[in-house]
Amino acid sequence: MTVCENALTPEEFRRLFTSVGWEAPGLDQISCALKNSWKVFSLWEDGIPVGMARLLGDGGMSFYLKDFAILPEWQGKGLGKLLMEHILHSLRKELPPGWAVSLELISAQGKEGFYERMGFDLRPSEDDGAGMFQMVAADRNICSENF
């Protein structure tokens, strides 16, 4: 098993993305997302990608883990842990001495235990509110002088 950085094509990304039941955007949108990710991590076995995750961030204070996926037939074999450990190691080695950053994510339903075992805290907690998100689609008819 090999972990690579920034090696996935949009087609490979889409295959991994849809393998876990997510509805994928078009290849042009995936290409843009890959290009603008801080890093894209992938797991490879015999030249075939079997897992991935994207790391987004500002490089200074905040990072977001997105699209963490392992092919269903490869799940339960420790690959998620291997990938997460590589991501954490890569992030730690990039940080200047004395720096600490926030690494955040939204878990897929039923996968929270995995992230807890990897050191993540559940949200909401006593100190923080729930993780939240909103999908925003393009509006083709935007006409406003005030926007």
Q: Between 3.40.630.30, 3.30.930.10, 3.40.50.720, 2.60.40.420, what CATH number should domain 2-117 receive?
A: 3.40.630.30
List the domain boundaries for the chain: 2-117
| 3-state SS class at 73 | helix
Enumerate helices (H) and strands (E) in the chain, giving the number of each: 4, 5
pLDDT one digit per residue (tens) for the chain, 147 residues = 999 999 999 999 999 999 999 999 999 999 999 999 999 999 999 999 999 999 999 999 999 999 999 999 999 999 999 999 999 999 999 999 999 999 999 999 899 999 999 999 998 878 888 888 887 777 766 555 655
